[in-house]
Amino acid sequence: MKRRTWFAMAGAVVLTLSLEGPCLSAESVKVAVIDQQAVLAKSKSGKRALEAIKEFSASRQRIVSADDEELKKLEKELKAQEAGLSEAARREKQELFRTKLESYQRRLQDFNREIQAKQKELVEEYQKKIDKAAAAVAEKAGYSMVLDKGSDASLRIVLYNHKAIDLTDQVVKEFDRRYP
């Protein structure tokens, strides 16, 4: 359903440009494509931002791993000592384990939310920058429209394009020039 909607929107834009655009005819509409993910991954500041997100995620993973090890150790101790403990001591250890498990789960959820928020923030920030760089390249080259090729991991709008109209490398250069 989403794919049809995107195709319909793209078709409407092309039709509008060719019929109603100022001094544009169907023959004069030049369309190009870029791979926004590649621009982010290949640009200097994009690489730094992705590395920062990766390190942030890794630091959170180290904390979660340490908590996980502590929980496993506590569970192992509880099982080993279970027979020799009084009912009250066993309940106390079980309650301690339950409390630590709940804390671990909350921390895991909080970290996941933090990582997702940072990724969303990164995407929004770089989307605006990529748009500006793509617009500058398109203006210089006389393109009327630039579409995102998308990828297998995201929505693919462009099913085929000739390499000659792929501006990704040019946009990376413009992006690096604007945002060193």
Of the candidates 16, 37, 34, the one whose C-alpha atom is nearest the C-alpha of residue 25 is: 16
Of the candidates 49, 43, 51, 48, the one whose C-alpha atom is nearest the C-alpha of residue 170 is: 43
> Which residue type is seen at 84?
G
- What's the confidence (pLDDT) of residue 1? 44
- What's the confidence (pLDDT) of residue 27? 62
What digits encode the pLDDT tens for the residues 84-123?
A: 888 888 888 889 889 999 999 999 999 999 999 999 999 9
Can you give the CATH number for the domain in which 166 is found?
Answer: 3.30.910.20
- What's the confidence (pLDDT) of residue 25? 54
Rounded Cα–Cα distance for residues 173 and 22 (Å) = 30
CB-based contacts of 126, cutoff 8 Å, min separation 6: 40, 46, 49
- What's the confidence (pLDDT) of residue 86? 84
Q: Which residues of the chain have pLDDT under 70?
A: 1-27
- What's the confidence (pLDDT) of residue 12? 43
Q: Which domain holds residue 130?
A: 2-178
Q: Quick one: tokens of 60?
A: 């959170």
What's the structural domain count of the chain?
1
Q: How many CB atoms lie within 10 A of CB 33?
A: 22
